[in-house]
Amino acid sequence: MQIGFFDSGIGGITVLHKAIKLIPNEDYLYYADTLHAPYGEKSKEYVKDLVFHAVEFMTSKGLKALVIACNTATSAAIGDLRCKYDFPVIGMEPAVKPAVELMGNSNKRVLVFATELSLKEDKFQDLVKKVDHRHIVDYIPLPKLVRFAEGFQFDSPKVQEYLESILSGINMMNYGAVVLGCTHYPFFKDLFARLLPKDILIVDGNLGTVKNLKRILTQNNNKPEGTGQIDFYQSGVKIEDMDVVRRYYGLMERLDRMDNEKQAEV
């Protein structure tokens, strides 16, 4: 049986990449709902319908666990998914808590970047209320960044211009940590590192999510039974085009290159 990873597009590959490193002896099914990406600009109910349709298809292939590798989809559907399915369902959560803890008693603030839907959902608002006792968390959506990622525009001048226009309105000297609260955003870690002050920590929760997955599998006595094989699907259709498969593996190679940079993973 496989471990399923679901995202609206390619963002979940940033989480799958960590899983392959930490849990190599498993087989994986990666489902990208590319026909309906991006999710962050859609209504909660529509996103929930899309997620349930995709997960129903994924379960037909046989899953031992499922990672909703999309913050927006997690916000919209994670509770209902856990009620319906008896295998472990692991969701994403912006790494607000560890970012706040990293600030300690300093006078620095935390800035969260995520999609519009994720930021306005109760799940995110409740998280901030729970962990932000000193009221140091601010947040702002970066909707275009998902579209840039889905277009494989990682190094385009347009991306830099977009981020510069957003950051120009923010006094980044007030911040000690930036949280990448969408799984698409780590593809741009190198660009964030160039544009942000050098002492700002760039935090994402991908590694923490995978550690949680591994812990749950161990608790459930699920022993590794694979070879690291990945089956890729796009909106219910298995990807047989090797050029597309190589492009997906190329995304993981990009993440490998950025792993050498000093960023905070939690």
pLDDT of residue 223: 82
d(CA 107, CA 206): 26
Q: Where are the alpha helices (DSSP H) in the chain?
A: 13-22, 44-59, 71-84, 96-103, 116-120, 122-131, 143-150, 157-167, 189-195, 206-219, 242-258
pLDDT of residue 260: 75
Q: Which long-range contacts (CB under 8 A, 24 or more apart) does 211-214 make?
A: 211/22, 212/90, 213/3, 213/19, 213/23, 213/65, 213/67, 213/88, 213/90, 214/22, 214/23
Given the residues 50, 51, 66, 70, select the one marked as catalytic: 70
Told to judge if 182 belongs to the known catalytic residues of this protein, a careful annotator would answer yes
Given the residues 69, 92, 179, 182, select the one marked as catalytic: 182
pLDDT of residue 263: 52
d(CA 44, CA 260): 37
- Do 90 and 220 form a contact (C-beta atoms < 8 A)? no
- Do 239 and 45 form a contact (C-beta atoms < 8 A)? no
d(CA 102, CA 123): 22
Residue spans in the chain of domains classed CATH 3.40.50.1860:
2-92+206-265, 96-204
For domain 2-92+206-265, the CATH class is alpha beta
The pTM (predicted TM-score) of the whole model is 0.95
pLDDT mean values, one per 10 residues, the chain (266 residues): 97 97 96 94 95 98 97 96 98 97 96 95 96 97 95 96 96 98 97 96 96 96 89 97 96 92 58
pLDDT of residue 265: 60
- Which phi and psi (to 5°) does residue 175 adopt? -110, 145
For the segment(s) 96-204, the CATH number from 1.10.10.10, 3.40.50.980, 3.40.50.1860, 3.40.47.10 is: 3.40.50.1860
pLDDT of residue 261: 65
pLDDT of residue 153: 97
Told to judge if 83 belongs to the known catalytic residues of this protein, a careful annotator would answer no
